[in-house]
Amino acid sequence: MQIENTVAFVSGANRGVGASFVRILLQNGAQRVYAGARHIADLSVDDPRVVPVELDITNETHVTRAAARAHDITLLVNNAGINHLAPALAAADLDAARAEMEVNYFGTLNMIRAFAPALRANQGAIINMLSILARVALPSMTSLCASKAAAQRMTEGVRAELSPHGVRVLAVLPGAIDTEMSRDFPPPKISAVDVVEATFAALRDGIDEVYPGEMAQQIATGLAADRRAVQSVPAGNA
Q: Is residue 95 part of a domain?
A: yes
- 77 near 55, Cβ under 8 Å? no
Q: What's the rounded Cα separation, in Å, for the pair 5 and 176?
A: 31
Looking at the domain assignment, is residue 164 inside a domain? Answer: yes
Share of the chain above pLDDT 90, in %: 86
Residue 2 inside a domain? The answer is: no
Count structural domains, the chain: 1
Q: Could you tell me if residue 216 is inside a domain?
A: yes
Residue 177: strand pairing partners: 190
Query: Which pLDDT band, with edges at 50, 70 and 90, does 189 fall under?
Result: confident
User: For residue range 56-95, what is the model confidence (pLDDT) as tens digits?
Assistant: 999 999 999 999 999 999 999 999 999 999 999 999 999 9
188 to 34, 72, 180: CA distances (angstroms): 32, 39, 15
Residue 23 inside a domain? The answer is: yes
Indicate whether 1 belongs to any domain. no
pTM of the model as a whole: 0.93
Average pLDDT, the chain: 93
CATH number of the domain residue 194 falls in: 3.40.50.720
- 80 neighbors 103 (Cβ within 8 angstroms): yes
Range of the domain at 157: 7-237
- Whether 236 shows a pLDDT value over 50: the answer reads no
220 lies in some domain: yes
pLDDT tens, residue by residue, 139-172: 999 999 999 999 999 999 999 999 999 999 999 9
Residue among 101, 81, 68 at smallest CA distance from 12: 81
CB 114 within 8 A of CB 157: no
CA distance to 30, 64, 177, per residue, from 9 (Å): 11, 13, 21
